[in-house]
Structure 1
Amino acid sequence: MSLVTLVGYPASGKSSRAAQLVASISKLLPPHLSAVVVSDETLNIAPSAYDDSRTEKPARAALFTAVQRMLSPTTVLIVDAPNYIKGFRYQLYCAAREMKLRVCTIYVVATPDLCHKWNDARTDGRAYSTATLENLIVRFEEPSSMVRWDSPLFTVPWNEELPTSDIAQAILSGSVKPPNSGTIAAVKAPTDALHVIEQIATATVDAIISAQAETQGSGGLVTLPISSELKLPISLPPRNLTLSELQRLKRQFVTVHKKAVTLGTTEKGAVDWTEQSVAHKFVTYLEEYLRS
């Protein structure tokens, strides 16, 4: 469905805004959809995890893993955490795009003095230490509507109402950006891909040699019986192709495609290593060479 990223200073009121948003959005959702909040609190990540980078990194990784697990076409997922690093917000954005979900960012704005005041007033054991709170405020990277991973951006000052109708429109009916090359997972070739390439290329060469013997080198369009179930047409030149020439072309073809298998080349996401596909690629490769 969508991913909503809350951004703001620690103790700026993000959790209150998340609760307001859930209450408002839930009324608009059909029964099969839901609004869910994932936060440091729901994951039992203590505020003290931000005291030191050695504990903050695994805490942030745990949050990101939870977000990936909870992203769903049937869920409005609200991430209630500091999210103060733009690189982390970009990670969240990429995860949502990979799932083809809508995204939006809500920037909850409060002054540092207010954040210190509200943090000191907490009695639930989830207050930040003064030094950690100040450090996070100094390191905070403000979101911008000019960058795609923070857009659409809703800036909500602490003393203003949450624009729930505009947010609802963005996350329920806004545009869905398709995954790009940076978010598409590489498609792995099957384990027998190399064997299929070698086997089909060899069978194709043998079929061409047999076809030339029957046509006596006259060329033209012939059908190659590559296997009992696979037959493909090919245009041969009006001359005999020698076995050494065909073997050389076969080696070139196999070498290129071995590299594609080894490196995980996705061919724009459409990898097909079936016998028919490999045979068609090899015949096309040969015809292009013979026309040149």
Structure 2
Amino acid sequence: MYCAAREMKLRVCTIYVVATKEQCREWNATRQDGRSYTPETLDNLLFRYEEPSSMVRWDSPLFTVLWNESNPPMPQIWDALTKGNVKPPNSGTLSVAKAPTDALQALEQVSAAIVATILAEQTGLGGQLNLSISTLSGMLKPCINIPARNITLSELQRLKRQFVTVHKKAITLGTTEKGSVDWSEQSIAEKFVTYLEEHIKS
């Protein structure tokens, strides 16, 4: 519940209603709704029960109230739920952002098309190369700066495999990056071009 509250950015508090074990056994024995525990099960639950503690973050703020208390601290409980600090989500409570179902296919096709276009249009003079790539979503026109030499097919294929491997994990397992992750063909093309510029040796 603590993790769910943090994920939803909600305030949370713990209210611990204290009763003796004997009182709990008496209540269980006198239940009339047919949902009472057997004595053995109840004893097992009482043995395994871990009392909340204000020293641990998932129980804080903690309000301890006797079962027969006539005046519980309702104003303080209300303030904790309406005015207390809202703890931000962390990586353990964030929802995982999943990639669209066609992201892997787009990753492969766009990176392969960029490799083929570079091989076809490079002149060996280097500088900025304006690429035109036809995809299912339309025409992509990324620009890439390449060194003054002919880049080989094996070099581009090796960098493509590395790029795809790096991003395949994020697609299949999801990511907890802040904000939405863009797996559009345009975004993939821009990422791959940047990757090539950083890894192609002069």
TM-score category of the 2 structures, normalised to the smaller one: 0.7 to 0.9
Q: Is 2:145 the partner of 1:238?
A: no
Q: Is 2:51 the partner of 1:142?
A: yes
Structure 1: runs of 5 or more not aligned: 1-91
Residue matched to 1:222:
129
**TM-superposition CA deviations, 1:154-207 (whole Å, max 9, x none):** 111235421111111111222222332222333332222222111111221123
Residue matched to 1:102:
11
Read off the aligned partner of 1:266 and give its amino acid letter.
Answer: T
Residue matched to 1:184:
94
Q: What is the identity percentage for the equivalent residue pairs of Structure 1 and Structure 2? A: 63
CA RMSD of aligned residues (A): 2.5
**Corresponding pairs, count:** 197
Read off the aligned partner of 2:108 and give its amino acid letter.
Answer: E
State the TM-score, normalized to the length of structure 2: 0.82
**SS of residue matched to 2:139:** coil
Offset, 1:210: 3.7
Distance 1:191 1:132, change over 3 A: closer
Distance 1:254 1:122, change over 3 A: closer
Distance 1:191 1:126, change over 3 A: closer
Residue matched to 1:5:
none
Distance 1:267 1:123, change over 3 A: closer
Distance 1:242 1:172, change over 3 A: same
Distance 1:117 1:198, change over 3 A: closer
By relative contact order (CA 8 Å, sep 6+), the higher-ranking structure is 2
In structure 1, C-alpha distance between the alignment counterparts of 2:127 and 2:171, rounded to whole Å: 33
In structure 1, C-alpha distance between the alignment counterparts of 2:94 and 2:48, rounded to whole Å: 31
Q: Is 2:170 the partner of 1:260?
A: yes
Query: Are 2:63 and 2:77, in contact at CA under 8 Å, matched by a contact in 1?
Result: yes
State the TM-score, normalized to the length of structure 1: 0.59
Structure 2: runs of 5 or more not aligned: none
For residues 199-218 of structure 1, the aligned pairs below 5 Å read 199-213=109-123, 217-218=124-125
Residue matched to 2:191:
281
Offset, 1:141: 0.6
In structure 2, C-alpha distance between the alignment counterparts of 1:159 and 1:143, rounded to whole Å: 19
Offset, 1:111: 2.1
In structure 1, C-alpha distance between the alignment counterparts of 2:197 and 2:106, rounded to whole Å: 20
In structure 2, C-alpha distance between the alignment counterparts of 1:111 and 1:155, rounded to whole Å: 14
**SS of residue matched to 1:229:** strand
Q: Which residue of 58, 66, 75 corresponds with 1:165?
A: 75
Read off the aligned partner of 2:113 and give its amino acid letter.
Answer: A
Read off the aligned partner of 1:226 and give its amino acid letter.
Answer: I
In structure 1, C-alpha distance between the alignment counterparts of 2:40 and 2:158, rounded to whole Å: 70
Query: Are 2:11 and 2:81, in contact at CA under 8 Å, matched by a contact in 1?
Result: yes
Distance 1:259 1:158, change over 3 A: closer
